[in-house]
Amino acid sequence: MQTWFISAFLLVFVAGWLLPEPRGIPAQGADENSWNPETFWYEPWGTSVTHKGIDIFASEGTLVVAATHGLVLFVGELGKGGKVVVTLGPKWRLHYYAHLQLQTARLLTMIQAGQSLGTVGTTGNAAGKPAHLHYGLLSLLPLPWCKTNQTQGWLRMFYLDPGAYIFNRETWHGFNC
């Protein structure tokens, strides 16, 4: 029984790692000039200390789409993020879409890259600021080689640079540290 469980776990783990991973910008019509690449891990960033994602600026109501395939794990509200959608994608990565005006994703459904998740808004701590999508990318598996000496640098083992991810600008053996 124990051998079967370990084999099944390893099979699921490897399958999750090997799934194809198409990548795209998660705000319709956005391009590389729609965000400042220097804001990933920028500090100081309010009570978050460092900015653990990128803010993709777009008009309120702009369609937010999945950056890659995945499973919708959360649709709801989270303090600073306001209206949020979280998906689990290939390579055991969580994709965090925040400040949404409207959420169209449904919990525990499979989504394809480019599929609608909601619309750009100003919810959470984006209230009163220009409309934007906060896009964050977290690895469920620690990547110790991504750790830095920056403020909260140990968290870099989990947070990947979404801008580098979108454009396949891998910085360390296929990882977007």
Tens digit of pLDDT at every position of the chain (177 positions) = 788 878 887 887 888 888 888 999 999 999 999 999 889 988 887 788 898 999 999 999 999 999 999 999 999 999 999 999 999 999 999 999 999 999 999 999 999 999 999 999 999 999 999 999 999 999 999 999 888 898 898 998 999 999 989 988 766 555 667
For residues 102 and 118, the answer to whether their CB atoms sit within 8 Å is yes
Is 160 inside a domain boundary? yes
Is 101 inside a domain boundary? yes
pLDDT on residue 9? 79
Q: Which two tokens stand for residue 53?
A: 């994602």
Is 27 inside a domain boundary? yes
pLDDT on residue 159? 94
For residues 87 and 66, the answer to whether their CB atoms sit within 8 Å is yes
pLDDT on residue 175? 64
Number of domains in the chain: 1
For residue 58, the domain's CATH number is 2.70.70.10
pTM equals: 0.91
Is 69 inside a domain boundary? yes
pLDDT on residue 98? 98
Is 1 inside a domain boundary? no
Is 71 inside a domain boundary? yes
49-53-56 Cα angle (round to 5): 125
- CB-based contacts of 112, cutoff 8 Å, min separation 6: 66, 69
Is 171 inside a domain boundary? no
**Residue 137 sits in which domain range?**
21-166
pLDDT on residue 86? 99
Is 7 inside a domain boundary? no
From residue 50, give the alpha-carbon distance in Å to each of 7, 64, 85, 126, 171.
39, 24, 21, 16, 20
Give CA–CA dist 103/115, Å, rounded. Answer: 12
